[in-house]
A and B are shown apart, each in its own frame.
Chain A
C-alpha cells in the first residue's frame, strides 16, 4: 500500500481530532507500523491537550458531579440484576406474590399485637446475631458498591451487612436485602437502617459467586423482585 509522503504529518491533525473517520482509520493503520510516529505521538498529544488549559474554566454546574457518580453507580447496579429480570415478573408467580404479601400483612398485624417489647427484643437478637457473624473467625469482608461498608460472610456462609451512614428508611418504606445468584434475586430480610452504622444479619446464606443487593421497598418488603436498588456487594469468593 502506498502512503502519501506527508503521512507522518498527519500525527498533528490526529491528536487534534481533526481527521474524519476514513482519514483516522488510515492514520491508525500507519501508526501501527511506524515507530517514528509512535515515538512522537505522546508528546504531540500532550501539546494538544495543553490547549485545553488555554481558555477560561468556568465551574461546572454542581449537579454534574452528582449526575456522573449516580450514573456510574447505576451502571454497576444494573450489572447485579439485569433490568429485564427486575421488570418482568412471570405471571405464574403473581398469585403466589399476592398470597405472600397477604401473609406478610398478617405477619405485621400479628407482630403489632405482640407489642413493642418483643420488637425490641428481636431487634436486639438480630443485632447480636450480626455481631456474632462479624466476630466469627475466618469471616471475610466484601466491599459494597454504592454505599460505605461491607458484607461480612462467615465460612458457613452466614452473612451480615454493615453499612455506614445509611439513613433510617423513610416512613412507609423499608430496606430489603437480596441474595443474587446468576442475576436471580432472593429476598433475605428487611431492615430499617439509621444510626451511624446499620448492621443487619441476612436471613439467607450467601453462596460463593453470589452478590448481596439492597433495595428500598414499601413497608413489609417485596417477595419477588427488588423495586429500587440502592447498593450491592461485590461478588463473593
Chain B
C-alpha cells in the first residue's frame, strides 16, 4: 500500500460517518444526560430519542391541564424547543433531564391555561388508554401511575385537593384560597406539607419516579 490509512479513511467516510453523525447508533442505550449533550450539539436524533422517552408523559400532562389537544401539542412542542435551544446551559445545572422537561411542559401549559381562561381542575376521568398491547413505555407509565396514585390516596383530603387543583388546574394560590374559601396561609401550608409528604411516600415506595441521569 502506498498510503496506508487512505483506504481506511475512505472506507470510514463511505460507511457512515460514525464519529460525527452517529448514524446507525442505538440511542436507546444512551443516558438522558448523554442525549442532552448531543442535543446541545444540534443532534436531531437525540432530540427525537428524548421525545420518544418523555413525549407521552408530556402530552398527557399538557392535555390534562389544557383539555384541548391542539393547545396540548403547542405546549409540548414549545417545551421541547426550549430543550433544543438550552440543553447546553441546563446540563451545567446537573439536575434530572426528565424533571426539567416535565417542568417546562407544566409551566407552559399553566401559562396557556391562564391565558385561555380555560377552567379547569375538575376531577379528571382516569380512562385507561384503549386496549391493544401495551408497549414498554405504556407499561412503565402505568406502573408509575399506580404508585403515584397510591401515594396521593394516603394524603389528607385537603392537601391532595390543593395539590391537584394547583398542578392540574393551573390555579394560583390566591385563586385557590378564594375558590376553597380558606385563608391564603392555609393554602400555602397545605401545598407545602402535602408535597413534602408526597415526596416521603414516594421515597418509601421505592419506585424511581424521576429516574436519575
Residue of A nearest to B164 (CB): A51
Contacts A18-B172, A51-B167, A56-B145 hold; do A46 and B9 have CB atoms under 8 A apart?
no
Q: Is A20 among interface residues, defined by CB-CB distance under 8 A?
A: yes
Q: Does any Cβ of B come within 8 Å of A17's Cβ? A: yes
Which B residues are in CB contact (< 8 Å) with A143? 17, 20-21
Contacts of B14 in A (CB 8 A): 134, 162, 197
Contact pattern, A 46-65, Cβ under 8 Å of B = 1, otherwise 0:
11111111111111110011
Contact with A162, one of B13, B176, B195 (Cβ below 8 angstroms): B13
Name the prevailing secondary structure of the B interface residues.
Answer: helix
Per the bound structure, the CA–CA distance linking A171 and B77 in Å amounts to 34
Which of A57, A135, A141 sits near B59, CB closer than 8 Å?
A57
B6 with A18: CB separation less than 8 A: no
With A19-B173, A54-B145, A55-B145 known as contacts, the answer to whether A69 contacts B198 (CB < 8 A) is no
Q: Which residues of B123-148 are within 8 A (CB) of A?
A: 124, 126-129, 138, 141, 144-145, 148
Looking across the interface, which residue of chain A has its beta carbon closest to that of B110? A17
Least CB distance, A198 to chain B, in whole angstroms: 12
Known: A19-B172, A54-B149, A55-B61. A75 touches B84 (CB 8 A): yes
CA distance A11 to B141 in the complex (A): 27
Sort chain B's interface into a size bin.
Answer: 35 or more
Q: A91 → chain B, closest Cβ, in Å? A: 35
Question: Taking the nearest CB of chain A, how far is it from the CB of B58, in angstroms?
Answer: 8
- Cβ of B206 under 8 Å from chain A: no
- A137 pairs with B3, CB closer than 8 A: yes
- Given A44-B196, A142-B20, the answer on whether A58 and B60 have CB atoms closer than 8 Å is yes
- By beta carbon, the residue of chain B nearest A66 is B48
A131 to B9, CA, bound (A): 11
B107 at the interface (CB under 8 A from A): yes
B21 and A44 contact, CB distance less than 8 A: no
Kindly state whether residue A12 has any CB partner on chain B within 8 Å: yes
Asked if A152 contacts B191 (CB within 8 A), the reply is no
Residue A38, interface by CB 8 Å: no
* Shortest Cβ distance from residue A229 to the other chain B in the assembled complex, whole angstroms: 15
- A57 near B141 with CB under 8 A, answer yes
Interface residues of B (CB under 8 A from A): 3, 5-7, 9-10, 13-14, 16-17, 19-21, 23, 42, 44, 47-48, 51-52, 55-61, 63-64, 69, 72-73, 76-77, 80-81, 84-85, 95-96, 98-99, 102-103, 105-107, 110, 124, 126-129, 138, 141, 144-145, 148-149, 151-152, 163-164, 166-168, 170-174, 176, 185, 187-189, 191-196, 198-199, 202, 209-210
